[in-house]
Amino acid sequence: MTNINTAYNEIFSSYPNIEIKEHIKKLIELDFYYPYNATFFCITNTVNQNFEYVSKNFTACTGLSRDEMIHGGMNFFWSLFHPEDITLWLECLKDLMTFTMNNLNDEQRKRMSYTWNYRIKNGNGKYTSIIQNTTPLQFDHNNKPVIGLAHYTVLNEDVKMDICACAKYLNEKNEYETLYYKNISSQNLLGVISNRERDIIRLLLLQKTSIEISESLHISKHTVDTHRRNILKKLQMSSTFELENYFKNNRNLI
């Protein structure tokens, strides 16, 4: 665990003051209304490497102790990671933080959402894939995110996934635009898709028309149709229906 702590501290080195306790309290209150399902959320503190809150769904989703998660903090959660995923996961975090600090302005950082995935050992002793989506809530004096709302989707134990990193920007139309994507495990078929094409695929999976996509992304319908043709050509597919079937198990990372 020492190597994880060292790498994590380097990525998220910051100052220890947390200033949004009232905001966190309001988010905790909302947990009462969330149904039990295959997702849970945590409020993460990268400075203290703990969880300000762990939602009630944690045990139902993982079979693990919520008390251990709360009291053990990130060290407990990291101890559950599949050994083969740790290095790749740390690379995800490093790449996303480097991109955030070097490629985004202060206003963009406030409207970003980050996604990555890994495997943890659940209460049955089996490794299961987790897709984590984190939205920053508070930033330090260098505008580095230090408090985040992390939403976790727990997949079936038999689902196998490449480890990927993704950064999306919430634009003026309140649609996410992909600004960064990297398949850390390998350069597979998804690697040939551009960020703009990734946005269009995501909106197609939401059953959006070309006109609706053009309005959301501030581009012409002609440009959308051109991207759609290129996507099908790159993936050697003949229809949007085939595209939807291909991405049905990968839509959280698009």
Domain limits, CATH 3.30.450.20, in the chain: 2-170
Q: What is the pLDDT of residues 221-233, one digit of tens each?
A: 999 999 999 988 8
For CATH 1.10.10.10, list the domain ranges present in the chain: 187-254
pLDDT per residue over 105-164, tens digit each? 988 888 899 999 999 999 999 999 999 999 998 888 888 888 999 999 998 887 778 888
CATH 1.10.10.10 fits 187-254, yes or no: yes
Specify the fold of 2-170.
Beta-Lactamase (3.30.450)
Which secondary structure element, helix H or strand E, spans residue 170, and what is its range?
Answer: strand 164-170
- Is 58 a residue whose pLDDT tops 70? yes
Q: Check whether 7 has a pLDDT greater than 70.
A: yes
Alpha-carbon distance of 204 to 227, in angstroms, equals: 12
Q: How many CA atoms lie within 13 A of 119 on its CB side?
A: 17
Dihedral angle sign, alpha carbons of residues 166, 170, 171, 174: positive
- Tokens 């939403």: give the residue: 151
pLDDT in tens, 63-105: 999 999 999 999 999 999 999 999 999 998 999 999 999 999 9
Token pair in block for residue 77: 């959660």
**pTM reported for the whole predicted model:** 0.70
The token pair at 154 is 């727990």
Amino acid identity at 99: F
